[in-house]
Structure 1
Amino acid sequence: MKQFEITDDFYLNGYPFKIISGAIHYFRVVPEYWHDRLQKLKMLGCNTVETYIPWNMHEPQEGAFDFTGILDIRSFVKIAGELDLFVILRPSPYICAEWEFGGLPYWLLQYPELTIRQSCPLFMQKVGNYFDRLFKEIGDLQLTAGGPVIMMQIENEYGSYSNDLHYLNSLADMMIDRGVTVPLVTSDGPWGDMLENGSLPDRALATINCGSDVKQHFKRLKQFHGRKKPLMVMEFWIGWFDAWEDSKHHQTSVTEAANELDAILSEGSVNIYMFHGGTNFGFMNGSNYYDKLTPDVTSYDYDALVTEWGELTPKYEAFRKVIGQYTDLPEMDLVTDIVYKSYDRQFVSEKVSLFESLEDISSKVTSVSPVSMECLNQGTGYIYYKTEIDKAGVIEDFRLLNCMDRAQIFVNGKHLATQLDQEIGEKLTLTLAASDSQLGILVENMGRVNYSAKMLHQKKGISDGVLINGALHTGWDIYSLPMTNLQQLDFSKPYEEGVPAFYKVICTLDEVGDTFINMTGWGKGFVVINGFNIGRFWSVGPQQSLYIPAPLLRKGENELIIFETEGVVSPHVTLTDTPNLG
């Protein structure tokens, strides 16, 4: 049986072992391509793969677990093992990862007495229920049981969030109680009090996350260790993520990144973040919040060594040269056949307005006041609030109270205003021509914040109400719109220009390959291909095309549904073999 130990160094079967790892998130890559991405990692010279585990994907509704398809972590780990790769798992309840709510499930917000990421008994109970199920999937994959998993992480960058060491110790106890026998680690930034706040030196190896100045940060880590322990950068940031409205796609210097890698490997071990970023499919992108809300785009390309769509980059070749100075580089032939196809223009064949479709894809809930998504057991997507106003004339004070993230306001089906983030709550003036006007408010969850104390307040939709001339308005019809059942749309119903609507495109394909749907000419929304939500688009950029992996397509007829909210549309889309990340 193989053994992996952490003392003054990493030891595999009694011999010093340098971890050369790369990050691949299985939940951001279609399963058919897991082998390809892992094989490319092996060809780089890596001996290990690292992945987060997103709680909100595996338990999307409380007590309902999913470990199938793109969430089949067992298969992902087993494929890695078949390629003689070791695995680092990061199963902490919080992952950050530029992922919706940092991987925490939205339904935690349904408990007003629950505090996330601290020694809150109710939170720990929910984590324990999740761990009970999760470790049935991964427990026997540990090296101690003959599998490839050599380490697990307790929490993620906890030192930048809080200093509740009792919470960290409780998580470690919970993992050990559920059969974790491989060494435990923590990872934090090397700045300020982060290592002190987020580490358990007697129970877990402290590692650091950074993208530059590694020599200096290793000095700080050595000082923190106090005695000889292995040095490791658990997240060596070699690129960065993009947010909507960024001026361009983030890219970093190949030479500088390769030099920093060499600096790391000369003293310690590394996990390259990201080796391959993948895609924020569906509505699972996270957001950051500093001066304002900055939701992440659909692509998680990250300027990684392997692009979002699987191509090797100059940075990959530069890193391979560096790694070749520290280990033998394997020669192997790729076995997954991946081609890129251009299918040219595909025209819209049918369309229907959202307001005509509400009863088809949602069930109306009546309420005295507006309530949040979470109150209706909804995690992501959109929510629509509708009410009647029985007076004509000017409404001088119209305001949305505690509403997140983006609200579009309609009067009698006509768009009046859009408010985003900090604009929400600003006073509006409405002029109503009739005494029986209908008010509608479409609110979009643009991705819950995944980092910082802003995570404490992430209920979406309208939580506190709507003011009309200074008074809270009552009597609402509410429609949850998670957009998971678009097969129920009736395209024979009416369509109106200038309002949110659904558009159907039928693509008949003779051959199937990876492709990119260019959304130039469209406003804001998301795209579903054969029932699979490939993610959001927005004309503000920088991303202008969405990646469609070939396994999501089929020979013959493919159904593409576009939901667009701004009334900015084109009669067609273009499927091309060239991506446009901006």
Structure 2
Amino acid sequence: MFEIREDFYWNEKPIKIISGSIHYFRVVPEYWEDRLKKLKAMGCNTVETYIPWNFHEPKEGQYDFDGMHDVAKFIKTAQSLNLFVIVRPSPYICAEWEFGGLPSWLLKDKNMQLRTYYEPLLNKIDHYFEKLFNELVPLQATHGGPIIMMQVENEYGSYNNDKNYLKALVDMMKKYGVDVPLVTSDGTWLDMLENGTLPEYAHPTVNFGSDAAHHFGELEHFIGKDSPLMVMEFWIGWFTAWGNKKYNRTDYKKQAEELRKVLNKGHVNFYMFHGGTNFGFMNGSNYYDQLTPDITSYDYDAPLSEWGDVTKKYKAFREVIQEVTNSELPPLPELVKKMDYGKVALKARTSLFENLDTISEGVKSPYTLSMEELDQDYGYVLYRQKAGPKRQVEDFRLLGTNDRAQIFLNGVLELTQYDKELGDKEVFELTEDEMTMNILVENMGRVNYGPRLKAQSKGITDGVFLNGAYRSGWTHYPLPLDNIDKVDYEKPYQEQAPSFSLFEHEIEETADTFIDMTGWGKGIVFMNGFNLGRFWEVGPQYKLYVPAPLLKEGLNQIVVFETEGKVKEELIFSNKPPY
């Protein structure tokens, strides 16, 4: 049995927790065992994972715990390898994940108060927890499973100090059967520890990436010398945003020495051991001075790469763990096979505008509706109306719009606005008596951290202002792009406009590969109907990782949705990673 005393104990004996983060929701299920074996081979005895609420309750009252969503299977796989499991099931996870794991349908409540004691929120969490803990409770160590700890909320001290909210979460967890020790994790700034902890109910842990002596000293001062010290997020890498000049990288040699200090003083969870991929539209964003959406790769400069390769960092950490624990570790794992499938020629291409009625159902309203009001979570919304007679437009503004908008007149791009540009006054001319205005608005990924969490409605929330007045009479086309099989490639293609490109490729053997999107503009790629994630010419990511289980022997279908009119006549599949 696992206990927290002056140290961590397993079956009455002190135990050193050496854990690594793997997010099952960023790894295809077929690779869960491979990644967990590699975790163990580095010297870890524990795996940690968040659980994103929006991943398991995508629509209110609709729950998904199958396939890639089968968290219980992931935990059982870890147990089969004799690994302990730390679960962080809080409603909010951050994790550079869309909306920090919160479901966007919460925003339908105009009065919604996130991450605080707001009864409508707590009621929704309660319904979710009832379903979630039905999956987790039987897997606790107290029931013969591998789960030894669960977290309450996540870095709450950097958001609020509402202890009633934290206590409500604890009560809900216990109500649904959680009886393993609870923990919190926060930064070591005193306000963060004061705000985010419930020492009488949950053991405090901290997050940091360097200067372990200082941070452990702060934690020890806060909780006393008779409690175990643990860094729940030892940041041994960092995430990368679109528009960064290069991927974020850290000095693995310095971190290996820092790891030695951590292990000599306490317990560790590597964040991340293996980052994985932000498949689909699930990348988060940060917002400080400007919007910075995260790239599709969540490689995180982790010891195990996005595609499961051992790195220099992995080997350096393994050496330190061997020295500190004086233990014999499994042999280094083999590389996952990669293949160069070469060039694939374009089969067909068609315009988005021609397919609106095929893949979406128009919703009419006198005023613009947000994505959430359209019961849509991710993707794009196209707003359409007649622009009126031929004239000069001297004042055009998109009010309350997030995150990126393209304005087309009769199918021709007039202007693009992104982030801070949205709402700026624009001038252009309507050159014909009959002109259709299409405004394509993209959700680039809801903010996952900080005070802007409350303002994450997407689409056009306040309206379109033109020559001194709001425009009325809109048809909305929701475009979550979850039905690309309905795209009709017999319909015309218009150059320099948003389009769907179809590629088909026969393969004899499946293996990991990378799609090179160099030369394309901006959009997403589907492999056999699975949304691989975003690409964008601003970089630094130009290749998308394709795990072998998403391919099949025989005919494979690839669809590229592109919004800038920058397309190519071929796709290139390479066995060479992005870096």
> Which amino acid in the other structure matches residue 413 of structure 1?
G
State the partner residue of 1:190.
188
State yes or no: 1:269 paired with 2:267: yes
Distance in 2, Cα, partners of 1:564 & 1:120 = 41
State the partner residue of 1:580.
578
Aligned positions of 1:342-361 closer than 5 A:
342-361=340-359
Give 1:149 shift: 0.2
Q: Which residue, out of 432, 435, 439, partners 2:433? A: 435
> Helix, strand or coil: the match of 2:128?
helix
Bigger shift: 184-193 or 553-562? 184-193
> Which amino acid in the other structure matches residue 463 of structure 1?
T
Q: Which residue, out of 84, 87, 90, partners 2:88? A: 90
Distance in 2, Cα, partners of 1:11 & 1:339 = 40
Superposition CA RMSD, Å: 1.0
State the partner residue of 2:60.
62
State the partner residue of 1:34.
32
Aligned positions of 1:359-374 closer than 5 A:
359-374=357-372
Give 1:579 shift: 1.6
Bigger shift: 389-398 or 541-550? 389-398
Give 1:399 shift: 0.5
Aligned positions of 1:173-572 closer than 5 A:
173-327=171-325, 328-331=327-330, 338-572=336-570
Contact conserved, 1:186 with 1:199, CA < 8 A, in 2?
Answer: yes
Contact conserved, 1:387 with 1:438, CA < 8 A, in 2?
Answer: yes
Distance in 1, Cα, partners of 2:387 & 2:331 = 69
Contact conserved, 2:40 with 2:330, CA < 8 A, in 1?
Answer: no
Give 1:337 shift: 8.2
> Which amino acid in the other structure matches residue 434 of structure 1?
E
Contact conserved, 2:237 with 2:300, CA < 8 A, in 1?
Answer: yes
State yes or no: 1:117 paired with 2:112: no
Distance in 1, Cα, partners of 2:118 & 2:462 = 26
> Which amino acid in the other structure matches residue 369 of structure 1?
Y
Bigger shift: 212-221 or 191-200? 191-200
Contact conserved, 2:309 with 2:335, CA < 8 A, in 1?
Answer: no
State the partner residue of 1:172.
170
Q: Which residue, out of 99, 102, 108, partners 1:101? A: 99
Structure 1 gaps of 5+ residues are none
> Helix, strand or coil: the match of 2:307?
coil
Bigger shift: 189-198 or 157-166? 189-198
> 1:547-582: CA deviations, max 9, x gaps?
00000001111000000000111111110001215x
Contact conserved, 2:93 with 2:101, CA < 8 A, in 1?
Answer: yes
Distance in 2, Cα, partners of 1:347 & 1:197 = 57
Distance in 1, Cα, partners of 2:104 & 2:7 = 40
Give 1:228 shift: 1.3
State the partner residue of 1:139.
137
Give 1:326 shift: 2.8
Give 1:333 shift: 7.8
Give 1:390 shift: 2.0
> Helix, strand or coil: the match of 2:373?
helix
Distance in 2, Cα, partners of 1:544 & 1:159 = 36
> Which amino acid in the other structure matches residue 293 of structure 2?
P
Contact conserved, 1:408 with 1:443, CA < 8 A, in 2?
Answer: yes
TM-score normalised by the chain length of structure 2: 0.99
C-alpha spacing 1:337/1:307, structure 2 compared with 1 (3 Å):
closer
Bigger shift: 488-497 or 338-347? 338-347
Distance in 2, Cα, partners of 1:466 & 1:127 = 35
Distance in 2, Cα, partners of 1:579 & 1:144 = 43
> 1:121-176: CA deviations, max 9, x gaps?
01100100100000011110000000000000001000000010111111111101
TM-score normalised by the chain length of structure 1: 0.98
> Helix, strand or coil: the match of 1:193?
helix
Give the ranges of 4+ consecutive aligned residues of structure 1 lying more than 3 Å apart after TM superposition: none
> Helix, strand or coil: the match of 2:124?
helix
> Which amino acid in the other structure matches residue 346 of structure 1?
V
Give 1:57 shift: 0.6
Contact conserved, 2:105 with 2:372, CA < 8 A, in 1?
Answer: yes
Distance in 1, Cα, partners of 2:59 & 2:403 = 22
Distance in 1, Cα, partners of 2:501 & 2:282 = 22
> Which amino acid in the other structure matches residue 468 of structure 2?
G
Contact conserved, 1:43 with 1:329, CA < 8 A, in 2?
Answer: no
State the partner residue of 1:161.
159
Give 1:470 shift: 1.3
Bigger shift: 384-393 or 47-56? 384-393
Distance in 1, Cα, partners of 2:66 & 2:366 = 40
Contact conserved, 2:407 with 2:438, CA < 8 A, in 1?
Answer: yes
Give 1:347 shift: 1.3
Distance in 1, Cα, partners of 2:552 & 2:568 = 25
> 1:48-75: CA deviations, max 9, x gaps?
0000001001000000000111111011
> Which amino acid in the other structure matches residue 329 of structure 1?
E
Contact conserved, 1:44 with 1:329, CA < 8 A, in 2?
Answer: no
Give 1:477 shift: 0.6
Give 1:227 shift: 4.0
Distance in 2, Cα, partners of 1:181 & 1:455 = 31
> Helix, strand or coil: the match of 2:324?
coil
Distance in 1, Cα, partners of 2:89 & 2:291 = 27
> Which amino acid in the other structure matches residue 330 of structure 1?
L
> Which amino acid in the other structure matches residue 436 of structure 2?
Q
> 1:15-41: CA deviations, max 9, x gaps?
111100000000000000000000001
Q: How many pairs align?
A: 578
